[in-house]
């Protein structure tokens, strides 16, 4: 399904760290004079397929493409049904990516939908936000902002503040910070702590370890709050010495990333006393070089009086989105080339293809349980071994499995039974229960023996 | 009202067959490198006025215009009322075609609306679908696809399959196939046969005669189905010898044009057992060179497993829409010239102007009964003589008339009375009843004599 | 907040009369060949933020920008909430005007919203209509049409006809006519007379005096109608001799500006017998050189049969909107320069900043009582002195004040008390009541004396 050399941005992991750094430098060139680049992508067309409203993100992409001299066709604020009269997303992107557009930006309410688009479109696909899964260009712009403001990302102390539970932006940014070896201080609004699965993934994928953080001078919503945590990479780098400490005293903050309460994803939680940053809070010495970031829209989390403070960079952060997206689009369209190597794996590669009857993704909002239910193959990746856990290749939601079968012999075993080791990894099929394995046409070893 | 040399595409009949063939060759040139033509229409602006949702068609037009280097302004998914605050369509297109745009593409829920736009706009108008009347660029793209895939259209055996009753696309494609002398095999879902008025027009306008078709190897929904018919031109061409046969044995199929059930136009009909094409069905020898077409969106009529079969060309068909529309737009904007002669008549010419009180179009969804009721002249064309039938010049719906009057003497007669022959054709006025004639201020000969 | 040299068009007063005349000449150049200017603003991007539906205005702006070679990003028909997830207008324009766009056109349902946009955006802002406040580009286009058709505006006799009460367009056009010293004859539909506050402002700002007009030959809706008035500038110009007359006999009409009933702003008023212009009405000698204008959409106020009359220029008027807007946009973007001097004051300048507790704008639909309530400063201008009246700097609604305080001493007095004269004008603070002054922390002189 995937065309030869095309590159997509479904996940931030579809770019190598070196590519990201190189794109930052390209973005800097574009930023220097935004009106000077209309020759770069002349003749190319971007389609913005926004099956969920997000005017701001859409306008940022469209501005980037126009500034590169390309054309834009837009299907915005359309619902799945009105757009497609029952058509699958796979068909839609094959049509739009067929001759209408040379690159497709998709926003979709279902988790994992961007991967579907990338698999079926013959042109590059950019994820403009798929459900509560990923929004990689937001993360790219946030990283670029931090890099531009501080000259580097490694070793920075970054506070993530507010609704850490429901904010997709915060989760993605946390992974990216860990990948670039910044330290994270979580300062959640009580009840909206960073979810365990995010902490686990930070530990598993990036070797991040957690300490209790003591953050003075964030009065009113931090201080001795038991929710505050210090997350730092255990790989050797300048702050590794802190990782053994049970409590980290944060005496310097490089950036605060504030986020609004994601009310549209709440279930009746109160947000009374939600943190709010004002001038007073930035008076402390350890805030002297802080950069105050916010993905916007802000509701009431940052006092208007801070807007003129040079440390308040949220509007600059939004402005950086255009040159950053210009660099990305120009790269994906082949208008600029990077010296850096691509990542070894990209998210649209097929993973473990499970048989019908085998495990399905349990995330209700996953595209495999949504509009792709009738045509998408079941596709997982192995994320942990003992016991085996598989993650949906579309939405990343994980399932713990207990049984392992062989795709060649069609027999299965408990995951820790010795015969499992004799099944080649590429032939292993994972099941949550013996019933599920049997439903998929596999037989237990004992049954085989007895037959 | 109509500006001097402008050309519109209200109906497929607004292009001569030679022009169509020449546009195919132009489309081929554009298709060879879609990104190479931004100089062709630079400075021109297309307005897409979509007073009915059709994202796919709109994006195809907009992509075509951008690829030609033009600009696009869009009013999409607007309802008649919200767009116009009570303004007539005539006023809207005079404004938009005044200086806003150099070409207007209109989609409108009322039959015949595109002709209104063409009459009142001073710039070229393209019909992007007017009610259930016409959608000529879809037909043009379908023909172009067939021509590209098979090298010609004349003499091809084309199966039309599925909902032949409600699909505007199927009706228009059938007329176009007949015009280019392909043979048509109708394979309807029972209860959704090709309507009698379409068969009649095929016979009347294109000399098509009907035989019973025997189509084996379309198991499950064709076979001995009494609905299957073979429609072939009676004009001399390579397949004319078949026309005497009472049953045509179809032993070779060049193309199958599949269509979804047009549920939005149904009145509660069941579609259980609606035909569905799968790999099994294409295994027969007579399907070896078939091309499987579909106007998209597909719902469930074609199995996903066929998508990779080289004979399944529905995505290519959609992709061909952009270069075909590029050729059309460039032609209408005067950016390319054709050697071929235009047709003798175009659909926006005034027809028979009937007096107030005379026959009105009886199609409820016709624009003359809709938003144009207060300002459009009653405008018809004579489509048959004995007895006389007139067709609405806007929506093509036909009325049988029984009386003929003279616009000069204001007397009227039964249609087959001898005095009718003495009325010059251009002075004839047609009425459905004597009452109607009197209401329009005409007197019966007898009355005249008696007075 | 305001960037150095940027120019906005919040109100027609943001352009000097000489600038307007120069823009007319520029518009003429653009109009000569609309397709020849794609080099003028290449690389620039316009954002159309339409938080209220107005397809026609939006398309006119977008066409103008595309014809200048610029790009367009659009957020149309979005509601405040869906666009912003609770974001303030100030934040929205800072983001969109940050790097997304080089110029912002805004339409907003709240009076005065365009001034908010101009104050917070770092790029030029054009008011595309803010509530019932202003729509300056409509006025500019109307003036340009009159100037083109008549060669000048000074001294013309212009009839304003129809719903003079609720039409924002009529009010703005009246001010502009007075500014350019045309004479106005009001011919309202009874019950829809020109509001007193408009007449008052015409007198105050432009020295216009009012006579009774006798307009024969506008049968059926004018004649001896007591609502007809003749408004003429009292400044010396060619028609000044009329101003002493108690009744002006209008024997020559240069233009009739017709307007539809603004039903969306009515409160159940009947519009039976609303004036309607037809061919008969234009037969009189004094109508020989009339120009019939209408801002469109027309509903039923002008008979369709007039559309082909050369004096009916409403479609040309709409067409002139594009070159006029091209001239404006090119000027605001710095692509063309004007020799004329700018006005001394522009509407986005800060006015009298009143303390919390002091007078608030009493216009319910004013942006300071709407989405800007939480963050906009209270900002007024002194519009009259005895007694003092202040006008909201955002929406222009006026308040009569009775007390004047000193911002330095914090004591206040009745407006006509002698001590007021000793307060420097820039330190004066105005209050509607003594209670209000006290609520704002001011003390009455007597209280001071008694304390």
DSSP A175-232: HHHHHTT-EEEEEEPTT-PPPHHHHHHHHHHH-EEEEEEEBTT-TTTSBT-TT-EEEE
**Using 50, 70 and 90 to split pLDDT, how confident is the model at B238?**
very low
Q: What is the DSSP string of C52-77?
A: S--HHHHHHHHHHHHHTT-EEEEE-S
Which residue, among C33, C44, C59, would best test binding to B if mutated, counting the most B CBs under 10 Å from its CB? C59
pLDDT at B161 over 60: yes
pLDDT value at position C79?
Answer: 61
- Percent of chain B past pLDDT 90, that is, above it, reads 68
The continuous run of DSSP H or E covering A398 comes out as strand A398-400
**Inter-chain residue contact C99 with A321, CB threshold 8 Å:** yes
**Inter-chain residue contact B98 with C316, CB threshold 8 Å:** yes
pLDDT value at position B286?
Answer: 84
Q: Which of B438, B448, B447, B413 is nearest to B427 (CA)?
A: B413
Q: Which of B197-206, B212-221, C401-410 has the lowest mean pLDDT?
A: B212-221
Phi, psi of C91 (to 5 degrees): -65, -40
pLDDT value at position C42?
Answer: 96
Q: Which residues of C touch B90 (CB under 8 A)?
A: 304
Q: Which residues of C touch A169 (CB under 8 A)?
A: none
Name the percent of chain C in helix, strand, coil, to the closest 5: 35, 20, 45
pTM over 0.80: yes
The tokens for C343 are 């006005």
pLDDT value at position C307?
Answer: 95
User: What's the mean pLDDT when you consider all of chain C?
Assistant: 89
d(CA A193, CA A146): 23
Q: Which residues of C touch A138 (CB under 8 A)?
A: none
pLDDT value at position C220?
Answer: 45
Q: Which of A73, A87, A98 sits opposite B297 (nearest CB)?
A: A87
d(CA B324, CA B31): 8
Query: Which of the 8 DSSP states describes residue B330?
Result: H
**Residue length of chain B:** 451
pLDDT at B130 over 90: yes
Phi, psi of B106 (to 5 degrees): -120, 140
pLDDT value at position A212?
Answer: 73
**Inter-chain residue contact B63 with A71, CB threshold 8 Å:** yes
**Inter-chain residue contact A322 with C100, CB threshold 8 Å:** yes
Q: What is the mean pLDDT of residues B34-42?
A: 97
- Percent of chain C past pLDDT 90, that is, above it, reads 68
**Inter-chain residue contact A63 with C101, CB threshold 8 Å:** yes
Contacts 24+ apart (CB under 8 A), A234-239: A234/A207, A234/A208, A234/A209, A235/A181, A235/A206, A235/A207, A237/A154, A237/A155, A237/A181, A238/A154, A238/A155, A239/A155, A239/A183
Phi, psi of B326 (to 5 degrees): -60, -45
**Inter-chain residue contact C73 with A67, CB threshold 8 Å:** no
pLDDT value at position A254?
Answer: 95
pLDDT at C49 over 50: yes
Would the CATH topology of B12-135+321-332 be identical to that of B352-444?
no
Peptide bond into C297 cis (omega under 30): yes
pLDDT value at position B234?
Answer: 58
Report the chain C residue with the minimal C-alpha distance to residue A305: C375
Contact indicator for C409, C439 with CB cutoff of 8 Å:
no
pLDDT value at position A172?
Answer: 93
Which residue, among B33, B44, B59, would best test binding to A if mutated, counting the most A CBs under 10 Å from its CB? B59
Ranges of each domain in chain C: 12-135+321-332, 137-317, 352-444
Count of alpha carbons within 13 angstroms of residue A17, beta-carbon side = 11
**Inter-chain residue contact C45 with A55, CB threshold 8 Å:** no
Report the chain C residue with the minimal C-alpha distance to residue A303: C375
**Inter-chain residue contact B319 with A44, CB threshold 8 Å:** no
pLDDT at C280 over 60: yes
Q: Which residues of C touch A315 (CB under 8 A)?
A: 91, 94-95, 98
Give domain B352-444's CATH number out of 3.40.50.200, 3.30.390.50, 3.40.190.10, 2.30.30.20.
2.30.30.20
Interface confidence (ipTM) of the complex: 0.92
**Inter-chain residue contact B304 with A100, CB threshold 8 Å:** no
Q: What is the mean pLDDT of residues C194-205?
A: 90
The continuous run of DSSP H or E covering B31 comes out as helix B17-32
Contact indicator for C131, C113 with CB cutoff of 8 Å:
yes
**Using 50, 70 and 90 to split pLDDT, how confident is the model at A299?**
confident
Size of interface B-C (CB pairs under 8 A): 77
The tokens for C226 are 């007591």
The continuous run of DSSP H or E covering A324 comes out as helix A314-332
Q: What is the 3-state secondary structure (H, E, C) of C267-286?
A: CCCCCCCCCCECHHHHCCHH
Task: Kindly give the pairing relationship between strand A403-406 and strand C183-188.
Answer: unpaired
pLDDT tens, position by position, A272-290: 888 889 998 888 888 999 9
- Percent of chain B past pLDDT 70, that is, above it, reads 89
pLDDT tens, position by position, B279-332: 988 888 889 999 999 999 998 899 999 999 999 999 999 999 999 999 999 999
**Inter-chain residue contact A59 with C86, CB threshold 8 Å:** no
pLDDT at C1 over 50: no
Q: Which residues pair with B50 in a beta bridge?
A: B76, B107
Contact indicator for A214, A247 with CB cutoff of 8 Å:
yes
**Using 50, 70 and 90 to split pLDDT, how confident is the model at A251?**
confident
N-term to C-term CA, chain B: 41
pLDDT at C339 over 70: yes
pLDDT at A247 over 90: no
Residue A51, CA distances (Å) to A81, A122, A176 in order: 9, 20, 26
pLDDT tens, position by position, C203-258: 999 988 887 776 665 644 444 345 567 787 654 433 433 344 456 777 789 999 99
Report the chain C residue with the minimal C-alpha distance to residue A76: C75
**Inter-chain residue contact B297 with A99, CB threshold 8 Å:** no
Q: What is the mean pLDDT of residues B38-60?
A: 94
Report the chain C residue with the minimal C-alpha distance to residue B39: C38
pLDDT tens, position by position, C169-193: 999 999 999 999 999 998 888 888 8
pLDDT tens, position by position, A341-385: 999 999 999 998 888 888 999 999 999 999 999 999 989 999 988
Q: What is the DSSP string of B102-154?
A: SEEEEEESSBTHHHHHHHH-SS-EEEEEETTTB-HHHHHHHHHHHHHHHS--T
Contact indicator for C46, C105 with CB cutoff of 8 Å:
yes
d(CA C340, CA C263): 40
Report the chain B residue with the minimal C-alpha distance to residue C264: B85
User: What's the mean pLDDT when you consider all of chain A?
Assistant: 88
Phi, psi of B375 (to 5 degrees): -130, -15
The continuous run of DSSP H or E covering C353 comes out as strand C352-353
More confident residue, A131 or B446: A131
Q: What is the mean pLDDT of residues C356-373?
A: 93
**Inter-chain residue contact A59 with C47, CB threshold 8 Å:** yes
> In the CATH scheme, what is the code of domain B12-135+321-332?
3.40.50.1370
Q: What is the mean pLDDT of residues B422-441?
A: 94
**Inter-chain residue contact C36 with B44, CB threshold 8 Å:** no
Helix ranges restricted to H, A2-135: 17-32, 55-67, 80-84, 89-95, 113-120
pLDDT at C85 over 80: no
Spell out the residues 6+ positions from residue C394 whose beta carbon is closer than 8 angstroms to its own.
C111, C112, C113, C115, C116, C361, C366, C367, C368, C372, C376, C379
**Using 50, 70 and 90 to split pLDDT, how confident is the model at A241?**
very low
Task: Kindly give the pairing relationship between strand B443-444 and strand B411-414.
Answer: parallel
Q: Which residues of C touch A276 (CB under 8 A)?
A: none
Q: Which residues of C touch A63 (CB under 8 A)?
A: 45, 71, 73, 99-101
- Kindly list the residues of chain B whose beta carbon comes within 8 Å of any beta carbon in chain A: 31, 34-38, 53, 55-56, 59-60, 62-63, 66-67, 72, 74, 77, 260, 264, 296-299, 304, 315-316, 318-323
Q: Which residues of B touch A102 (CB under 8 A)?
A: 35
pLDDT at C202 over 60: yes
pLDDT tens, position by position, A314-325: 999 999 999 999
Q: Which residues of A touch C84 (CB under 8 A)?
A: 297
Candidate ranges A395-399, B140-144, C382-386; pick with highest mean pLDDT: B140-144
pLDDT value at position C409?
Answer: 93
Q: What is the mean pLDDT of residues B224-238?
A: 58
The tokens for B71 are 């600009």
d(CA B59, CA A45): 11
3-state secondary structure of A168: helix
pLDDT value at position A116?
Answer: 97
Q: Which residues of A touch B67 (CB under 8 A)?
A: 43, 45, 71
3-state secondary structure of B426: helix
**Using 50, 70 and 90 to split pLDDT, how confident is the model at A141?**
very high
- Kindly list the residues of chain C whose beta carbon comes within 8 Å of any beta carbon in chain A: 42-45, 47, 71-75, 78, 82-87, 91-92, 94-96, 98-102, 375
pLDDT at C135 over 80: yes
pLDDT at C303 over 50: yes
More confident residue, C167 or B334: B334
pLDDT value at position B266?
Answer: 83
Report the chain C residue with the minimal C-alpha distance to residue B79: C55
The residue to which tokens 């997350």 are assigned: A231
**Inter-chain residue contact C84 with A297, CB threshold 8 Å:** yes
Phi, psi of C123 (to 5 degrees): -115, 165
Report the chain B residue with the minimal C-alpha distance to residue A121: B315
Angle between helices B314-332 and B17-32 (to 10 degrees): 110
Contact indicator for A221, A203 with CB cutoff of 8 Å:
no
Residue B6, CA distances (Å) to A451, B9, B94, B153 in order: 82, 10, 14, 29
pLDDT value at position C229?
Answer: 75
User: What's the mean pLDDT when you consider all of chain B?
Assistant: 89
Torsion-angle region of B155 (φ positive above 0: left; ψ -120 to 50: alpha; else: beta): left
More confident residue, A368 or C272: A368
Q: Which of A72, A84, A101 sits opposite B297 (nearest CB)?
A: A84
pLDDT value at position C447?
Answer: 56
pLDDT at B191 over 90: no
Question: In the CATH hierarchy, which fold is given to the domain comprising B137-317?
Answer: Rossmann fold (3.40.50)
pLDDT value at position C238?
Answer: 36
**Inter-chain residue contact A319 with C78, CB threshold 8 Å:** no
Contact indicator for B405, B431 with CB cutoff of 8 Å:
yes
Report the chain A residue with the minimal C-alpha distance to residue C48: A59
d(CA A329, CA A333): 6
**Inter-chain residue contact C44 with A56, CB threshold 8 Å:** no
Contact indicator for C301, C148 with CB cutoff of 8 Å:
no
More confident residue, C236 or B172: B172
Contact indicator for A74, A62 with CB cutoff of 8 Å:
yes
């Amino acid at each position: 399904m995937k065309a030869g050399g095309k590159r997509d941005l479904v996940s931030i992991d579809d770019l190598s760290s070196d590519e990201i750094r190189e794109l930052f430098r390209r973005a800097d060139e574009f930023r220097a004079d935004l009106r000077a680049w209309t020759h770069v992508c002349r003749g190319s067309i971007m389609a913005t397929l926004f099956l969920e409203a997000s005017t701001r993100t859409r306008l940022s992409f469209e501005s980037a493409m126009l500034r590169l001299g390309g054309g834009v066709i837009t299907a915005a604020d359309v619902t799945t049904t009105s757009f497609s009269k029952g058509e699958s997303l796979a068909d839609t992107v094959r049509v739009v990516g067929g001759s209408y557009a040379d690159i497709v930006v998709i926003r979709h309410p279902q988790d994992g939908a961007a991967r579907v688009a990338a698999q079926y479109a013959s042109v590059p696909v950019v994820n403009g936000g798929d459900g509560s899964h990923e929004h990689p260009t937001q993360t790219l712009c946030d990283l670029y902002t931090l890099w531009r403001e501080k000259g580097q990302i490694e070793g920075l102390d970054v506070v993530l503040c507010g609704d850490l539970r429901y904010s997709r932006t915060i989760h993605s940014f946390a992974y990216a910070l860990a990948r670039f070896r910044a330290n994270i201080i979580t300062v959640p609004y009580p009840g909206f702590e960073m979810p365990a699965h995010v902490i686990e993934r930070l530990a598993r994928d990036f070797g991040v370890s957690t300490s209790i953080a003591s953050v003075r001078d964030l009065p009113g919503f931090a201080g001795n709050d038991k929710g505050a945590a210090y997350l730092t990479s255990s790989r050797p780098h300048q702050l590794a010495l802190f990782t053994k400490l049970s409590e980290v005293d944060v005496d310097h903050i490089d950036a605060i990333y504030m986020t609004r309460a994601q009310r549209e994803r709440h279930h009746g939680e109160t947000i009374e006393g939600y943190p709010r940053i004002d001038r007073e809070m930035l008076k402390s010495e350890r805030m002297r070089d802080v950069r105050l970031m916010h993905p916007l829209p802000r509701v009431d989390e940052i006092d208007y009086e801070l807007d003129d403070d040079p440390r308040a960079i949220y509007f600059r952060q939004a402005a950086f989105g255009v040159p950053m997206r210009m660099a990305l689009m120009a790269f994906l369209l082949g208008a600029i080339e990077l010296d850096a190597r691509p990542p070894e794996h990209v998210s649209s590669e097929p993973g473990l293809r499970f048989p019908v009857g085998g495990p399905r993704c349990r995330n209700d909002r996953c595209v495999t349980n949504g509009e792709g239910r009738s045509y998408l193959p079941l596709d997982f990746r192995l994320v942990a071994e003992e016991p085996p856990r598989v993650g949906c290749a579309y939405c990343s939601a994980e399932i713990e499995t207990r049984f392992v079968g062989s795709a060649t012999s069609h027999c299965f075993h408990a995951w820790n039974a010795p015969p499992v080791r004799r099944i080649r990894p590429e032939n292993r099929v994972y099941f949550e229960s013996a019933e599920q394995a049997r439903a998929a046409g596999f037989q237990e070893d004992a049954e085989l023996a007895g037959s």
